A and B are shown apart, each in its own frame.
Chain A
């Protein structure tokens, strides 16, 4: 097996006085879609922030594409989409993309990226005139425009209609087939089945780091939500 795109070892993170991640270790393989699943408040965003290098960590190491997280050389290689759409509401869709393209040298891909998130017809509209789901897609487009080898997406499909959600998942798999690594968080368990690999995170601890098939086999159920519940109750009995 080749080196993982992301390797996390014994990661401990506090936010304020509260411990959010407890000695967390996991690996995200390159060229696949890995889902980070778990209830909200479980530490998903904190883990993603640690990977993109904007989170202060207490101890442990995070290695991304062979470099320590936050390394200067990684800044052109990661596309990060925060949970709340972080784009400029007072700019048009196209102006947002132009700006993020200038930060990543992807200016010639604006039209292509807008088409891939199905916003080509809204390019001239101001972001604050769009719906929540459309804003989320603008935010996603701003990460895609630089064609980064690693995409870190914090709940990018929340509030989207099922057809669009399916299309975006197809897009993620297309990108992965083309060689990108995609780490995507969700609190919706029905998205778990769409991933090549799953990390189940709850209360700052990892309950699984495996393929959906292996998790189903280990827990003896086809339903991934039920599998998650069994993993949690099993871990609690052991503890």
Chain B
């Protein structure tokens, strides 16, 4: 029994460690819609994996990465309003995923687990896969952090100063895709973006530098995981939504703290 809780806690903390800094970048870069679209289309990858009887985690990961590349290419399609297109894509891919899944006759599939996460069903091998992806993303974040921050602050200036802006954007999208794919099991496709956005937004109020913002976001995400798991353990609430809810509470609490900006 304690194993279940330990695995769940470790998995949640790993996701929080990645989604903190990554979520900060996503927030600063106003990419929340991309996150949603990626998360919702993860269901398509799931359907595909089931249809091909492949490893579900890998098929979700690969399809998320592919969709990230497609979304990245969309920015060159000049004559469209990108935000409405992303909104359309996001919800149609969710609907398509649900419809496709209904065609696949699989008794053992628990759809709720994918929509809202099933943290307490994490197995040792899931944890190993999760740790590998998280370590990879954290390594990339460490390596490219200052370039990514410069991109978020002012992309044109970064480009003039010689940063490979397009490649950094692609890298950011791919990291979000990988995180979405692995976090699906923790909080579910409907709530993944919340793990990216809420801790980062809560941290933004008190942080004094991008680095502080990233670390604080990871810390707040970790606290939210602990709070959510405690709720799931003691009151039998669903773990994923409980985590997001406790992140939301931390955000509200954060608003009471003295802000970094004087004008606020």
Asked if A and B are interacting partners, one says no
Which residues of A pack against B, CB within 8 Å? none
